[in-house]
């Protein structure tokens, strides 16, 4: 009998149609199913593992602390606690590879990359495995997956994090359509911004952004938003919307770019000065005032989120001259709110003041 039992077990493992036994019997749906209400579930041994994450997008701002909610439970509840492994990672988007954020087993946690020292697993309640992120950075927005692993069974949920920000078109100092994709990325970064995603551009179009020059987006497509159809902007026959040239060659093709800047922690202000300044004098004047010359993304963010309103054109760090109008009036340019631009004047001219930025 001692020899017959191992032989019998070996034969059972080889019979098709019987489940592999490792302590649990699994259903014939190995990955469970995703539900429409933000839940994901898997079934094993008659017990259902359910992971709960919010359906709605979470909004926050740079420098803030945020919690990405995630909980799990079993149906029916087990008689005793079960050991699980938790994994959080950020999904790949627009050519950016996925990033591991945190893994945890019991009280042991490990964090990765730029998230080290900025994240932890929040476990205030039973079966809560939410992710806390401190000091949010511009590049932290995106989709995060919370995975709960119980033995060979795992289920996961998705959390989308968006930073409050503003989309703005940006041109090369030498004129229209001068950036390839990589140069466009660098240009946005130099203005304290990143290349906008399609979702961000679409949201900006819904809020009234109308721009007739095509620009790069984060996925290397080239698009532009039109709220009022007109002949020089795609023709009168097309309905308003976000027009697309589709994906373009990242190195060979050249366009403008749409950048995305998030809400500021510091202050942008027009420096009261007794006389107009050259660009070099403007930089020095901000430094003497304990600040630095503002970047384009910072001016747009101050206009959008702090209502910065000033009818005086001032130098910015990229050598352009602009001014923000939150309350349009007849003697201050067009009759819509926005950031007006004088382009890139001669840096030696003394026709402008300066906008400074003081971090907090």
- Render pLDDT for 123-178 as a digit per residue (tens, 0 to 9): 888 899 999 999 999 889 899 999 999 987 899 999 999 998 999 999 999 999 99
Dist. CA 268–CA 200, nearest whole Å: 23
Q: Are residues 57 and 149 in the same domain?
A: yes
Q: Which residue has the higher pLDDT, 16 or 77?
A: 77
Asked whether the predicted pLDDT for residue 7 surpasses 80, the reply is no
CA distance 269 to 303: 10
> pLDDT tens digits for 252-311?
999 999 999 998 889 999 999 999 999 999 999 999 999 999 999 999 999 999 999 999
Bond from prior residue into 46 cis (ω within 30 degrees of 0): no
**Predicted pLDDT of residue 15:** 37
Same structural domain for residues 281 and 334?
A: yes
Structural domain of residue 313, as residue ranges?
Answer: 263-359
Q: Maximum Cα–Cα distance for the chain, whole Å?
A: 103
CA gap 295, 148 in Å, rounded? 43
Predicted confidence at residue 264, as pLDDT, reads 87
The pTM of the whole model exceeds 0.75? yes
Check whether residue 57 and residue 148 sit in a common domain.
yes
Q: Is the pLDDT of residue 351 over 70?
A: yes
On the question of pLDDT at 89 being above 60, the answer is yes
Please indicate, yes or no, if residue 337 is contained in any of the structural domains: yes
Q: What is the number of structural domains in the chain?
A: 3
Domain closes at, from 199, 234, 261: 261
Q: Which of 147, 163, 179 is the last residue of a domain?
A: 163
* pLDDT number for residue 233: 87
User: Which is higher by pLDDT, 1 or 18?
Assistant: 1
pLDDT of residue 148: 97
Instruction: Give the pLDDT confidence score for residue 341 in this predicted structure.
Output: 96
Let me know whether 290 and 337 are in one domain.
yes
Query: What is the pLDDT, as a whole number, of residue 153?
Result: 87
State residue 262 phi and psi, 5-degree precision: -100, 170
Higher pLDDT among residues 259 and 20, named by residue: 259
pLDDT at 95: 67
């Amino acid at each position: 009998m001692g020899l017959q039992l191992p032989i019998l077990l070996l034969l059972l493992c080889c019979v098709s149609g019987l489940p592999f036994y490792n302590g649990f019997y699994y259903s014939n749906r190995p990955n469970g199913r995703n539900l429409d209400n933000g839940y994901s579930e898997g079934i094993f041994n008659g017990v259902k593992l359910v992971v709960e994450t919010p359906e709605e997008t979470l909004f926050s701002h740079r420098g803030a602390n945020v919690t990405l909610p995630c909980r799990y439970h079993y149906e029916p509840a087990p008689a005793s606690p079960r050991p699980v492994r938790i994994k959080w990672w950020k999904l790949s988007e627009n050519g950016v590879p996925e990033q591991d954020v945190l893994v945890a087993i019991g009280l042991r946690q490990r964090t990765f990359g730029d998230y080290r020292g900025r994240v932890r697993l929040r476990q205030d309640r039973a079966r809560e495995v939410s992710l806390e992120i401190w000091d949010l950075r511009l590049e932290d927005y995106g989709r995060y997956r919370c995975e709960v692993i119980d033995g060979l069974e795992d289920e996961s949920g998705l959390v989308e994090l968006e930073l409050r920000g503003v989309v703005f078109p940006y041109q090369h100092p030498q004129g229209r359509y001068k950036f390839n994709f990589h140069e466009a990325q660098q240009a946005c970064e130099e203005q304290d911004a990143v290349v906008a995603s399609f979702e961000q551009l679409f949201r900006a179009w819904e809020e009234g952004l109308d721009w007739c020059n095509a620009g790069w987006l984060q996925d290397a497509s080239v698009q532009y938003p039109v709220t009022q159809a007109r002949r020089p902007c795609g023709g009168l026959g097309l309905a308003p919307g976000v027009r697309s040239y589709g994906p373009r060659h990242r190195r060979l093709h050249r366009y403008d770019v749409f950048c995305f800047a998030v809400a500021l922690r510091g202050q942008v202000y027009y420096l009261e000065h007794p006389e107009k300044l050259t660009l070099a004098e403007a930089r020095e004047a901000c430094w003497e005032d304990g600040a630095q010359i503002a970047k384009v993304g910072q001016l747009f963010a101050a206009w959008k989120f702090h209502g910065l309103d000033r009818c005086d054109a001032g130098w910015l760090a990229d050598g352009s001259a602009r001014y923000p109008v939150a309350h349009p009036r007849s003697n201050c340019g067009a009759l819509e709110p926005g950031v007006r631009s004088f382009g890139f004047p001669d840096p030696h001219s003394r026709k402008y003041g300066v906008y400074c930025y003081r971090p907090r």
